[in-house]
Structure 1
Amino acid sequence: MLPMESTTNIAPGQNDCETSETNFVWSWWPSWRPTSMSLLKTVESKILACIQNDLWARFVTLPNHDRIWTLTITNKTARKPPDEAAKTPLVMVHGFGGGVGLWIRNLDALSRSRPVYAFDLLGFGRSSRPHFPSDPNKAEEQFVNSIEQWRESVGLENMILLGHSLGGYLATSYAIQYPSRVSHLILVDPWGFPERLPPQTEESSSKEVLKRPGPPRWVKGVASVLSHFNPLAVIRAAGPWGPGLVNRFRLDIKRRYEDLFDDDTVTQYIYHCNAQSPSGEVGFRAMSEGLGWAKRPMLHRVHLLSPKMPLTILYGAQSWVSSSSGEEVVRIRNQDSTEVKLIEDAAHHVYADQPHSFNEAVENICNTVD
């Protein structure tokens, strides 16, 4: 079924192709970058056309007039829709550089027994792209506040909250602040949990430690220069070569969806999601340091989660994200309320690498709620 798009509750003066970002370094290069919100909408529509269940796609407007692009998927074959409505909804939060389209292999399966909501984080995808502060606390708070305002606007009393990567970090922060709204927290290869280790910790415990040679001076210089830019700046700087760059270097993503699309649909989607003026990317950079470590590691705060809140952490067995953080979370909390599961033959994008195993695991978790 083709997505039904609603433009209700849109702030005056806004339209679907408009981005709300201003004063960004790249905003004066629109003709250099072959992208627009309209092109993003077109390629996303092609992806969402794969959904078989009932889909309602619309903007949800927050009190400050920021807009969150939102999908609601329900089972059209359900004999008793009121029963389905009574089930606790599953809310899915994507990771850095992603958007709702990347859940395409999961939405139908997970909406068989309960409503599923997926939205583009503020500053990503088709959602508004406002200014984010450089302070990590304030940037995180802006993300979390937008999620709570979204929940209020949609009218959800509580939810099963699932977050992947950056989405897992933000979902945890949200669950700490709004415990009564989260029936079960599901983290998928969450980013930002461990503390950044100093170089000395890589040495062995032996008394005789051989110093490893550091990287060449030119590598340090390049790294220093790149540290002053947003993580995906190269996509925008590449201009007309940007789509080809994404298609070349994200073949891994393309392969994950090749049974659905035999062309560049998915890499085009990723390009248009990230070639817009950076906003959420600025917020992410404010919260991170080095090669993607969090300035405020979540392991320092996970004890603040309600002891009664069930938490399940899913890791790809071949992911670059170590499951050791999940094991530490179990130690900090307790085994009764926290569980860590590995999805075999899956890397960081667990939901796309092994969609059947992922969907089955998430559905089983949801069934423990109601």
Structure 2
Amino acid sequence: MQDETEFEDTNGNWSWWPSWRPTSMSLLKTAEAKILACLRNDVWARFVTLPDHNRIWTLTVTNKTARRTSEQASKTPLVMVHGFGGGVGLWIRNLDPLSRSRAVHAFDLLGFGRSSRPAFPTDAELAEDQSVTSIEQWRQAMGMERMILLGHSLGGYLASSYAIRYPDRVAHLILVDPWGFPERPQPDANENAGQGLDVKRTAPPRWVKAIASVLSLFNPLALIRAAGPWGPGLVSRFRPDFKRKFEDLFDDNTMTEYLYHCNAQTPSGEVGFRAMTETMAWAKRPMLQRVHQLPPSLPVTMLYGALSWVDSSSGDRVVQIRGQSPTRVMVIPNASHHVYADQYEDFNSVVQRLCDTVD
């Protein structure tokens, strides 16, 4: 694996933080390298520099047996965009299989993983714009004309926004359990009118409202950083599923350690995500309000996990909104929100078939 010169982005770190939080970009690099060592195909790992000097950590995976032919070069590349709090390492079960017939690119979103961590606006539209603009600048720097764009969760939201703004650059939009599509349900003031007090919903206790109010003042992953040396254990305790999802690859805490180091760094993209949210589950600018702006000819496929907290009915609404445009919703059995890891063989098979429809 080829690797560009490492850099440390310490913007915004207070000098005493490193002694409290057992993390650094070097530790993140080490954790990621252990994961990427599982790859069997050729991997080119480097930082791609944007016009504003921010850098995007990027992997390009190509098939060893096809690299000397023009077969892969002639095919539209697949670009994979991770979700909130993730990074390129989470695609470890997918990169080799999906690069058999075409180049696969995966990058850490601006503000996440090993990419630069600039300041993000607190305005939802501006925060979204900064992320989407960075994706387009990355594409230009990579020299790609068109791509098959796949986004998971927050990555699906940003991929959709990108496709609306730069439709000529997307050959097929694949949204995997995308976050931020439905509108937040509004309480109906007249819902219980005239039905008696016995059906009136009980308001949450004041202490619950008080805690929720305090937590809303902080970034979503602030607790991991505030926990200091207990942070890694906190991630292992609350996300043991990530260890189970990859237990045949690693018999230790490799994946939870990777997640910890991805998210214990200086908050950046996390600030942008908070700006885009009403709450963790709802976007201030729901994508269902804008999905009609996608070009009618653009194929869109939405993949959901049958056991996910993300409701696949949003996909059904996209089908209705787009009418005769090529739109498909697929639900993968026995998969949670992290479809790509839970049922990776089914996921890889579906994505491969979708890519084959492009070229």
Which TM class, normalised by the smaller chain length? Answer: over 0.9
Q: 2:215 aligns with which of 226, 230, 243?
A: 226
1:303 pairs with 2:292: yes
Of residues 327-336 and 62-71 in structure 1, the stretch that sits farther from structure 2 once superposed is: 327-336
The residue that corresponds to 2:9 in the other structure is 19
Of residues 340-349 and 79-88 in structure 1, the stretch that sits farther from structure 2 once superposed is: 79-88
1:31 pairs with 2:38: no
The residue that corresponds to 1:60 in the other structure is 48
SS in structure 2 of the partner of residue 200 of structure 1: coil
Of all paired residues, the percent bearing the same amino acid is: 70
C-alpha distance in structure 2 between counterparts of 1:197 and 1:83, whole Å: 48
Q: 2:108 aligns with which of 106, 120, 126?
A: 120
1:43 pairs with 2:31: yes
- Judge conservation of contact 2:296–2:325 (CA < 8 Å) in 1: no
Q: TM-score with structure 2 length normalisation?
A: 0.96
Pair 1:178–1:201, CA change in 2 (3 A): farther
- Judge conservation of contact 2:48–2:56 (CA < 8 Å) in 1: yes
The residue that corresponds to 2:2 in the other structure is 4
1:337 pairs with 2:326: yes
Gaps of 5+ in 1: 8-15
Q: CA deviation at 1:204?
A: 7.9
Q: CA deviation at 1:290?
A: 2.1
Which letter maps to 2:303?
A: L
Pair 1:199–1:34, CA change in 2 (3 A): same
Of residues 119-128 and 208-217 in structure 1, the stretch that sits farther from structure 2 once superposed is: 208-217
The residue that corresponds to 1:274 in the other structure is 263
1:291 pairs with 2:289: no
SS in structure 2 of the partner of residue 31 of structure 1: helix
Q: Deviations over 1:34-58 (max 9, x none)?
A: 0000000001000000000000000
Q: CA deviation at 1:202?
A: 11
1:245 pairs with 2:264: no
- Judge conservation of contact 2:298–2:325 (CA < 8 Å) in 1: no
Q: TM-score with structure 1 length normalisation?
A: 0.94
Q: 1:185 aligns with which of 173, 186, 192?
A: 173
Paired residue total:
358
Pair 1:304–1:247, CA change in 2 (3 A): same
- Judge conservation of contact 2:297–2:325 (CA < 8 Å) in 1: no
Which letter maps to 2:45?
A: A
Q: Deviations over 1:77-133 (max 9, x none)?
A: 127531111100000000000000000000000000100000000000000000001
Q: Deviations over 1:212-259 (max 9, x none)?
A: 212221111111000000000000000000000001111011110001
- Judge conservation of contact 2:146–2:170 (CA < 8 Å) in 1: yes
Gaps of 5+ in 2: none
The residue that corresponds to 1:11 in the other structure is none
